[in-house]
Amino acid sequence: MNLSTWLPVLILSSSLVPGLVIFMLREESHGLRTLLNLAGATIKLLLVAVMIWGVFHEQVYETRWTLAPGLDLVLHADALSVLFVTLSTILWLVTTVYAIGYLEGSPHRSRFFGFFSMCVTATVGIALAGNMFTFIIFYELLTLATYPLVAHKGTPEAVRGARIYLTYTLSGGVLLLIGAVWLRTIAGPLDFVQGGILSDYALDPDALRWIFVLLIVGLGVKAALVPLHGWLPQAMVAPAPVSALLHAVAVVKAGAFGIVRVVYDVYGVEYAAELGVLTFLGAAAAITIVYGSVKALSQDKLKKRLAYSTVSQVSYIALGTAILGPLATIGGVVHLVHQGVMKITLFFAAGNYAENLGIHRVSEMDGVGRRMPGTTLAFTIGALGMIGIPPIAGFVSKWYIGLGAVSAGEAFWVLPVLVASSLLNAAYFLPILYRAWFRPPPDRWPAEVPQTGRWEISGALLWPPVITAGLALAAGLFAAAPYSPLEWAEIITLREYRS
Amino acid sequence: MSSLLIWPIALPLFGSLMALVWPRRADAIGLASSIATLVAAMLLVGRVAEHGMIEHALAGWEPGLGIALRGDGLSTLLLLMSAIVALVAGFYATGYFRNADLKAHFWPLWLMMIAAIHALFLSGDLFNLYVTLELLGLSAVALAALGGTRAAVAAALRYMTIGLVGSMTFLAGIVLLYTAYGTLDIPSLAERVVPQPAAWVALVLVTAGLLIKSALFPLHFWLPTAHANAPAPVSAALSALVVKATFYLLLRLWTDVFDPLVTMEAAMVVGLLGAAAVLWGSWQAWRAERLKLLAAYSTVAQIGYLFVFLPLLLAMPDGDARDTLFGALVLFALTHGFAKSAFFLGAGVILQYAGHDRIAELGGTARALPVTTFVLATAGVALIGLPPSGTFLAKWQLISSAIVTGQWIWLPVVAIGSLLAGAYIFRVLGYAFAPGDRAGPVLAIGQEEIPALLLALIATIVLGFGAAMVWEFLTPGLALGDSVR
């Protein structure tokens, strides 16, 4: 037993243990809860830093625990898991700060932060899962941990949203399970191996196609692939920090990450292309991208518009995955990070508008940029990034997916999808920006909280969106710097295609 | 040291008598003998882990004449579960029954029932099995009626009538076997039974008798009212242990005595009934208006899963794969035992706190009783079969075997059954999270919540992460982990 076996466990524990302790805290012990949260997040960040360094130098981090005949719980760190772990760790820290500010004075905070930590633990577990079996365990745990967060307010609306969320995700989970067990029976232990494992065996291609469909449909529920996306707009009843985390890292991203894992590290992208299943995935992703954007156009509620935008944006990851060739891979993988950073900014900002001014609808946002310049600036960066305007992160992802589509030769149909989607993104984001900056503010806001501090809103709510907006900008500006998301995506891609 | 087999039966029996003559000390006597029984069960399991199957002939009489006791991996593991649940639910009962009279009635019957269950697990011959079955049935009926309400007594009477029909049918089968083969000792019978009409009829009678007692669909009709109207600790034992004891007996007889007779068709019939039980029980649980009724219907469904395993076991050739599936079956039974008893105890806490267990009126429970809500959720995870519970691993192996043997028919059953289970569990949690008028103490762990929490955690955490132990214990040397292809 040494660091290389313990590190994955420590990283999981750094959110699990604080979460368990927080459950037992009294509602009033505000200070201790904050301390535990922030300490856990900071420790996790430090541990992840060690892991990044190690994986970069091709260290092997693996923990194995036998559960049953043929079934091992495996935590394993490769370049892809590190990317996702880092994303969730950083965004967890930021979101925790935001949530502390957002929930100030509201009831049931121990329960909330407890499940919040569980949710991050499950996400990190998904990132570190070393085989399909482990992935499914954490994937289902994520469902369980997020249910109380969606239902948190306890209103009939919240409980209903949570029920719909659960119906979708549990059904998807069952299909995923059947697909995984089936594959396990014909292909043996499904360890995630860069370059895939299935091409080594002579297996029945038809069975493999069916299994692929089962897996993708199972994962597609969380990744909100159309027509499996119905839960996402309903789950918007959750408190803003939850929506932010759900859309940026936890649930939606877990589905997308799973798709990346299945295509690259189980099937192997080249073998998947040979089987012809990538077309299926690509078509589903393309339809989702366009459909989500079209639906976003007509939403007046800000959070709903952002929700449909998530439906659309997350599928860029699936799209990049569905195109054979390293450039598209880079684009898809790096979008895991880019979309997360940008979308969390947008949700933080939306939460601030609702909290501070009572703004829930796009039509109420006239002149909000003058009242809340910091928040609106962050929102603007996030929105422009989503459209794909350089030098913000979103541009980098779209650029690589586009390049990949052209160089793959057969994937020219992706270009019109990209163009159409970007135009649509502009069509639903630019009017918001126009309203916010150029329209005169109304005489009074729907429900304004009088300004007391130095800034437009308390620091705990202002800094998180500003920081994540900065990250989105930096990820684009310094895309070529070492250890940037893009650089890391290139490392991943190199290792995927090396074998 | 094979006399270890006597203690898990003798200790509760002795405690039962003591509690009867000394009713004012019933609590202390009951707990002391439950603890002693658990220690004996643990020693026994340790012994079997070391030496494999052990036997004991009471007073030195040879099998066939005297009372033979036998313990192997399967029976001692179930016995250990029973001893744990009996102790924990018994501890819960000391707080549940506030009335000294009720306590004085409860403990002798309760310990008698535990002794009967343990005797059933360890008996090596069919006549003794019949006696334990009767003893078990009668003590269970008396316990079910302990609440004294009209509904409880009516349900208990029905329970008794059905139970008697079941044991009479079982007895008829045994008599037939005795006349045909001249012995009731299980190993000797196993050598002599050959496919012939007498054996066929005996198989049908014995199976029918046990199916009634294990409440397999459509013979389950007596279970929901009996289990739902009993006092909470009794419901826990009825659902977790009593039905499982008769299932154990069926499994034992099918694999040991009637092995040459059981055909794929027969197993298929039982499996299909099990599948119907899964669907019907889960559906009824989803529609149930009361929490305890929901739990009782959920038992109908979970028992169904156990029977779905049988045709798969039969189709599997002997070897590691079959041992793996067998272990999964045992794991499933164990996990359900702990989870369901936890669920019933949790429901009992709610019933006592709120004065009712109507699901639609559970609003505010999550706030007033957070620990109990957590218990229902944790036990619910195991009932649905989500990770990290033991049921998840068992279902994984079930699905895997269904695919390997080509019996695809079970896949939709497991899928729909699990989703329905998700629906009924989260229906309860949805109501529990809704706001209610009752705001209670925040995070007060009551004495009666600890036992429930303990059982739920065993089902979901211990049997999940420690599941490998179950397989190792049942089949020493079975290849575990990813080495299996």
A181 with B403: Cβ contact below 8 A: yes
Averaged confidence pLDDT in chain A: 91
Residues of chain B in contact with residue A72, where contact means CB-CB under 8 angstroms, are 481-482
pLDDT of residue A451: 76
Residue-wise pLDDT for B339-380, tens only, equals: 999 999 999 999 888 888 899 988 888 888 888 999 999 999
Biggest alpha carbon–alpha carbon distance for chain B: 68
How many Å apart are CA B272 and CA B275, to the nearest integer?
A: 5
CA of A5 vs chain B CAs: smallest distance (Å): 17
Q: What is the ipTM of this complex?
A: 0.92
Task: Dihedral sign for Cα A154, A157, A161, A164, please.
Answer: positive
Of chain A, the end-to-end C-alpha distance in Å amounts to 29
Strand partners, A75: A63, A129
User: What residues of chain A, 159 to 198, have a C-beta less than 8 Å from chain B?
Assistant: 159, 162-163, 166-167, 170-171, 173-175, 177-178, 181-182, 184-185, 188-189, 191
How many Å apart are CA A116 and CA A348, to the nearest integer?
A: 16
Per residue in B188-210, is it b (16+ CB within 10 Å) or e — as a string?
Answer: bbeeebeeeeebeebbebbbbbb
Chain B residue closest in CA terms to A68: B468
pLDDT at B64 over 80: no
Lowest pLDDT segment from A125-134, B60-69, B438-447: B438-447
Percent of chain A at pLDDT > 90 equals 69
CA atoms within 13 A on the CB side of B238: 37
Lowest pLDDT segment from A376-380, A387-391, B33-37: A387-391
A140 with B386: Cβ contact below 8 A: yes
The residue ranking higher by pLDDT, B127 or B59, is B127
- Which of A201, A152, A198, A207 has its CA nearest to residue A179? A207
pLDDT at A256 over 60: yes
A68 with B399: Cβ contact below 8 A: no
Other CB atoms within a 10 A radius of the CB of residue B99 amount to 9
Which of B370, B400, B426 comes nearest A184 by C-beta?
B400
pLDDT band at A193 (very low <50, low <70, confident <90, very high): confident
How many Å apart are CA A346 and CA A111, to the nearest integer?
A: 26
Residues of chain B in contact with residue A74, where contact means CB-CB under 8 angstroms, are 482
pLDDT band at B113 (very low <50, low <70, confident <90, very high): very high
Residue-wise pLDDT for A465-476, tens only, equals: 999 999 999 999
Q: Would an 8 Å CB–CB cutoff place A477 in contact with chain B?
A: no
Q: Which of B425, B482, B485 to mutate to test the interface with A (most CBs of A within 10 A)?
A: B482
The token pair that represents A380 in the structure block? 């603007």
Q: Which of B320, B324, B383, B386 to mutate to test the interface with A (most CBs of A within 10 A)?
A: B386
How many Å apart are CA A316 and CA A332, to the nearest integer?
A: 6
The token pair that represents B257 in the structure block? 């005595």
Q: Is the pTM of this model over 0.90?
A: yes
How many Å apart are CA B365 and CA A311, to the nearest integer?
A: 35
Write the CA distances from A356 to A100, A361, B215, B248, integer angstroms.
15, 14, 59, 63
Residues A393-411, mean pLDDT to the nearest whole number: 87
pLDDT band at B441 (very low <50, low <70, confident <90, very high): very low
Which of A137, A154, A181 comes nearest B388 by C-beta?
A137
Residue-wise pLDDT for B215-272, tens only, equals: 999 999 999 999 999 999 999 999 999 999 999 999 999 988 888 888 899 999 999 9
Torsion, CA A147, CA A149, CA A151, CA A155, rounded to 10:
180
pLDDT band at A249 (very low <50, low <70, confident <90, very high): confident
pLDDT at B471 over 80: yes
pLDDT of residue B55: 86
Chain B residue closest in CA terms to A184: B400
Residue showing tokens 């959110």: A15
pLDDT band at B484 (very low <50, low <70, confident <90, very high): low
pLDDT of residue A134: 96
pLDDT of residue B61: 66
Which of B393, B404, B415 comes nearest A68 by C-beta?
B393
Strand partners, A74: A64
pLDDT at B485 over 50: no
CA of A332 vs chain B CAs: smallest distance (Å): 30
CA of B38 vs chain A CAs: smallest distance (Å): 26
Which of A70, A166, A170 comes nearest B482 by C-beta?
A70
Residues B302-312, mean pLDDT to the nearest whole number: 96
Q: Which of A177, A186, A193 to mutate to test the interface with B (most CBs of B within 10 A)?
A: A177
pLDDT band at A88 (very low <50, low <70, confident <90, very high): very high
User: What's the one-letter identity of residue B17?
Assistant: L
Residue-wise pLDDT for B164-196, tens only, equals: 999 999 999 999 999 999 888 888 888 898 888
Residues B32-61, mean pLDDT to the nearest whole number: 89
Helices (H) and strands (E) in chain A, counts: 20, 2
The residue ranking higher by pLDDT, A237 or B403, is B403
pLDDT of residue A466: 95
Beta strands (DSSP E) in A8-135 are 61-68, 71-77
User: What's the one-letter identity of residue A388?
Assistant: G
pLDDT at B433 over 60: yes
Residues of chain A in contact with residue B327, where contact means CB-CB under 8 angstroms, are 68-69
pLDDT at B482 over 80: no
pLDDT at B293 over 50: yes
CA-based R_g, chain B, Å: 21
pLDDT band at A407 (very low <50, low <70, confident <90, very high): confident
CA of B479 vs chain A CAs: smallest distance (Å): 6
pLDDT of residue B66: 66
CB of B242 closer than 8 Å to CB of B89: no
A185 with B481: Cβ contact below 8 A: no
- Which of B68, B2, B96, B79 has its CA nearest to residue B41? B79
CB of A28 closer than 8 Å to CB of A83: no
A156 with B434: Cβ contact below 8 A: yes
Residues of chain A in contact with residue B471, where contact means CB-CB under 8 angstroms, are 68-69
The token pair that represents A387 in the structure block? 């459209």
pLDDT band at A58 (very low <50, low <70, confident <90, very high): confident
Task: Dihedral sign for Cα A140, A145, A148, A149, please.
Answer: negative
